[in-house]
Structure 1
Amino acid sequence: MPRITSGLAGLAVMTSLTACATALPATPGLPGSPGITGAGITAPARAGASGDFLVFYADGKRREALAAIGRAGGSAVRTEERLGYVQARAVGERFAAALDADPAIVGVTADRRIGFATARPAKGAAVPDISAREGRPKAGEPLAGRQWDMRMIGADLANAAFKGSRKVLVGVIDTGIDGNHPDIAPNFNRGLSRNFVTDRPKDQNGETLDGACEVASCQDPVDRDDDGHGTHVASTIASPVNGVGIAGVAPGVQLVNLRAGQDSGFFFLKPSLDALTYAADIGVDVVNMSYYVDPWLYNCTNNAADSERERSEQRAVVTGMQRALDYARGKGVTLISALGNGSADLGKPKLDKASPGYPRGDERVRRVDNSCLNVPAESGGVISITALGPSGRKAIYSDYGLEQADLSAPGGDALDGPTVSPTRSILAAAPESALRAAGKLDRDGRPKNGEVLRDCAGGACSYYQYLDGTSMAAPHATGVAALLISRFGKPGKGGLELDPATVEKLLYKTATPRPCPSPRAYVYRVYGEAQTHTCEGGKDKNGFYGHGLVNALNATTAVK
């Protein structure tokens, strides 16, 4: 998946042509302090150092796995029978290597981070500050005129008649949600929200990771987002119609923060597994996953270019995430993911230059093929989304692929026009604290450039930022799914229920079909350079648009 420039979907492989899709610089996932940290999270273990490992066992082989862990010199911390793994504590990589050949073991990985779908700050000409002095529109949200993305999918028209049900819970697995933001708070479910990570000031090499902890426990409150990526995603899904800023795709549903990402934008495997199982158990209806699993951009279970230890680690990622996704889907959770920001045809990968992305500096060039998976975008049961610019073309940074692309949605593309402009990106809510920490506001709270807007009224101001990425595309699809569940879901578990297979079918049915461009080999020209992406498939299903562009208006009017 792509990496967020703010943190999330994986470290995208970027070329000079996709620099605007840059993931957060050297923030592959989100490491932390060595050893065991809060919430059961541990830092990746060095050889010779004590650390935690996730040991995934074959079906029915729990006892054999526990015995093997003991023989290898480890001890079981706890067993997660829902997903078939043991959290074990042991010394160094020799422990993991001793388990790799055991027939009861599927894969073993240090308790590490997950990557993320790139969100990229938009660059370009300055945009004026929006405040009370400029006057507020007589109808609609104050910044609705800047939401070309909502008009592209008919959300502006859909919301006039149907905003979604408060009985629908949307989980955002991300860096957190600013639950106190004026354009988030009315729809934020603080009681159900959880933070599955603990901030890590330094990484295992002593370099700054998350930075200083904001609270004594180093575990941020459930309504905080020090990165901004998760808040942007949540805002696109369900910012309310309240006379402030913008409106989301489904402004009447509830948002649940399922934080699995560190302040620095990294994600670790266990928090992601925990977030998915928790979402399933509390009755979340749909989750948005704008990230990919690190340290491998492509997870290859039997790649000759990798050592047996590396293959086992990748098998653990593929197996563990698939089990968690299956568990969630089996409990009624619709799974939506960003596809990635690497400008790559995921059906024809050849080289991986970004793996292993952790620890930093361990990357090497290795050959890969289509048996290698980008997780969770290519995991079973997941609906994966490509990103479009305002012209409707596939965004230059967006990954694609005939097998991999399920749907498309606006993700922004500052390069989709004669000049570079942030107004071609996606505008959504941003935490003031994160903007101040990034130096994007002056002392008086005024935005320093066109990447950020503020909306002020009644003595209070709320902030918004422009970002590009498949991270921004996925929440549009998640919002449409929430509208469909609101319309067609049946009462159950205190809310509404609609089988994920039915949601998927309705998403495809209500999407607007889009054929491949003509010619199919589409040439992107940026700063005098050219890059060609080739679209395969027909109008009903192709590698650029999948089954089509998600359509909120159709979702609110279609017959099941």
Structure 2
Amino acid sequence: MVALAVPLFGAIVAAPVASAQPALSGATTEFSVLARDGQSVASVERAVRAAGGTVVTSNAAVGLITATAPANGFAERVSADRSVFGAAKAKAIGTAPKQGKAKVKPGVVEKEGRGAASAKKPVQANAVGMDPLDDQLWGLKSVRSDLSRTKQPGDKRVKVGVIDTGVDGSHPDIAPNFDRAASRNFTKDIVSDVNGAVVDGPCEYRSCVDPVDHDDNGHGTHVAGTIGAAANGFGVSGVAPNVTLVNLRAGQDSGFFFLQPTVDAITYAGDAGVDVVNMSFFTDPWLYNCTANPADTPAQQAEQRTIIEATTRALNYAHRKGVTQVVSLGNQHSDLAAPQPDASSPGYPSNSTHPRQIDNASCLSLPIEGPHTIGVSSFGPSQAKADYSNYGVEQISVSAPGGYFRDYFGTPWFRTVENQILSTYPRNVGVAEGMIDADGNITPDGVTAGIKKATAADGRVGYYQWLQGTSMASPHASGVAALIVSQYGKGSRDFGMNPDAVQRVLEGTASDIACPVPRTVDYLKEGRDASFTATCTGDASFNGFYGHGAVDAWSAVTRGSQYLRG
């Protein structure tokens, strides 16, 4: 199964009543075509060709096919076939971009601390097996990875897939644990959208397909470092510093995650024997995929139904193949059982958004609200729920350190970068963002942002940045999940562990955190508006802010055996 194209949904048509076939016209365009449940990929491929399209690639695990065809008429033609669930117009091929820099998916939460002052918190001595910058990783100590590695640092046979924007496999803290051969890039750079607005910008490589050890965004490399940066006496170490890291790239340089590459990455994880995947994203272009939202057109409604169906199939497939799927809860400061109105969708192409009321019964944020996912909320160094973090008993499983820039209100530590999560940073991204100069020195802006540089005696250089978000919380949980598989997994040839058992151990060994008193927390004094106000429901053993509790690596590898059987 190989992904050669990036479907970006623009219009989709569910199978209608048979009628006269429309004429084909317009520029060559990419489409995604989903097989109806129980129908073969071969039958849908025949339908694609009969409708005037060309099959580019097929994902047999879920029945998702990428095809090219004239822009007009093809979706209606192919959707008329009984084997087809739906057909989605993706993007016109060969559009010229307007002038401007690449459009980057908003990351205001994650980079909120850029430009903040340092609090100069006291430095603690590192434990055995810790790296020089680990004294600044409060999250590592919060999950007790400093202790767990003395018993279980991770097994090289355990593969953790990072479904993200890419992984810088050359980073000195990533390289020792990086499996380039198993890594895949399921995306293709998108120069511009159908309106000519810049998306990823000019391709860095002639094929517009980045190498599997490359990251032009930085998000995926940060996630990978938190999970499994090597404990090699250099820079930082991860929660599980001896496991194997696999790049399963599904995110664009700009930070968009579209259906076809996301589905391909999830199903490949199952086929490649990956044990744990981390998914710190939502599938674009819809923050919530609604089956019949009245604010959406019929074509948009059908598009979202197809996204739900294809993603559900992929998550089920990976689970059957033994993949533990850890997902960030999201940064919309919403109770996922009572979501707030959405004015950000569809986020692609440009100028497409419209306001929508979100009905919890018929709208899903994916992949977090799909089957077999372990949802992770975020807290700060004081263990206060981060103001941005989604919450609610409906989707949460556990909580983990994700950073909270505005933690410790009323103290010198309020609004300081050290309240966030420090992890690996690609040099190329640092240069592009103006944090590192062409000679490899940290710029004044980089110093203000807290960018770190480590230099080894042999000349190796690594860089590190502070970020916050549920995207930073879930890799802490993924690291603990990888340690659980390392400690309790079985099999000589196909080493691994049932994902349901992994989840039981992860949740059962988490440290209880009770709801705050009072249960309703506003963040007005921290500078947030009333939409951030959140109410915690549940008790100390399970509640909407922390789920079953904060993930605990030491407890997981020392007490987890009692939770192995359901």
Q: Is the structural similarity TM-score above 0.5?
A: yes
Instruction: Give, in whole Å, the separation in 2 of the partners of 1:137 and 1:542.
Output: 33
- Kindly tell me: are residues 533 and 98 of structure 1, through their superposed partners in 2, closer, same or farther at Cα, counting changes over 3 Å? farther
- The alignment partner of 1:319 has SS state of helix
Where 1:364 maps in the other structure, the secondary structure is coil
**Letter of the structure 2 residue corresponding to residue 315 of structure 1:** R
| Runs of 5+ unmatched residues, structure 2 | 12-24, 92-102, 562-566
Mapped pair 1:522 → 2:521: yes
Question: Against the structure 1 CA distance between its residues 372 and 529, is the aligned structure 2 distance closer, same or farther, given a 3 Å change threshold?
Answer: closer
Displacement after TM superposition at 1:204 (Å): 2.7
Give me the whole-angstrom Cα distance separating, in 2, the residues matched to 1:385 and 1:522.
19
Describe the superposition over 1:212-262 as per-residue Cα deviations: whole angstroms up to 9, x where unpaired.
322222221111111111110000000111111111000010000111112
Residue equivalent to 1:52: 30
Matches within 5 A, 1:90-489: 90-92=69-71, 94-97=73-76, 104-111=83-90, 119-120=110-111, 122-127=113-118, 140-370=130-360, 371-418=362-409, 419-444=414-439, 445-446=441-442, 447-458=446-457, 459-489=459-489
Q: Which moved more, 1:285-294 or 1:453-462?
A: 453-462
| Cα 1:111–1:171 shift into 2, 3 Å | farther
Which residue matches 1:89? Answer: 68
Residue by residue over 1:375-420, the C-alpha shift from the partner in whole angstroms, topping out at 9 and shown as x without a partner, is 0010011111111111101110111121011111000011112331
Query: Quick one: which amino acid aligns to residue 258 of structure 1?
Result: L
Contact between 1:384 and 1:407, CA under 8 Å: does it hold in 2?
Answer: yes
Gaps of 5+ in 1: 1-36
Query: What RMSD in Å do the two structures reach over aligned CA positions?
Result: 2.8
Check the 8 A contact 1:116/1:292 in 2, yes or no: no
Secondary structure of 2:310 counterpart: helix
Question: Residue 502 of structure 2 aligns with which residue?
Answer: 503
Report the Cα offset of residue 41 of structure 1: 3.0
Instruction: State the alpha-carbon separation in 1 of the partners of residues 241 and 358 from structure 2.
Output: 42
Q: Whole-Å Cα distance in 1 between the matches of residues 456 and 61 of structure 2? A: 49
CA change 1:94–1:448 in 2 (3 A) is farther
CA distance in 1 between partners of 2:219 and 2:207 (Å): 23
The code of the aligned residue for 2:6 comes to: I
Kindly indicate whether structure 1 or structure 2 has the higher relative contact order, using CA contacts under 8 Å at least 6 residues apart.
1
The letter of the residue matching 1:55 is V
Deviation at residue 306 of structure 1 after TM alignment: 2.1
2:4 to 27, 33, 39: 39
CA deviation after TM superposition for structure 1 residue 202, in Å: 2.8
After superposition, the Cα gap between the structure-2 partners of 1:212 and 1:304, relative to the gap in structure 1 and judged at 3 Å, is: closer
Partners of 1:368 and 1:210 lie apart in 2 by 30
Aligned to 2:559: 558
8 A Cα contact 2:112 2:405, kept in partner: no
Q: How far did 1:98 drift? A: 5.6
Cα distance change, pair 128–413 in 1 and its aligned pair in 2 (3 A): closer
Percent sequence identity is 44
- Equivalent position SS for 2:4: helix
Cα distance in 2, alignment partners of residues 56 and 513 from structure 1:
43
TM-score calculated relative to the size of structure 2: 0.85
Cα deviations by residue, 1:136-187 (Å, 9 ceiling, x for unpaired): 9796311111111111111111123320100100000111111111111111
Distance 1:379 1:438, change over 3 A: same
- Larger deviation, residues 207-216 vs 323-332: 207-216
- The CA deviation string for residues 95-133 of structure 1, in whole angstroms up to 9 with x for no partner, is 33566677654333334799899633523544599xxxx
Please state how far the C-alpha of 1:339 moved relative to its aligned partner. 1.0
- Look up the equivalent residue of 1:156 and give its one-letter code: D
Partner amino acid, structure 2, of 1:380: P
Contact persistence 1:114–1:295 (CA under 8 A): no
Contact 1:42–1:51, Cα closer than 8 Å, also in 2: no
- Corresponding residue number in structure 2 for 1:3: none
Distance 2:340 2:219 in 1: 30
What's the TM-score, normalizing by structure 1?
0.86
Contact 1:171 1:288 in 2 (8 A): yes
**1:100, 1:308 within 8 Å by CA — same for their partners in 2?**
no
The equivalent of 2:541 in structure 1 is: 540
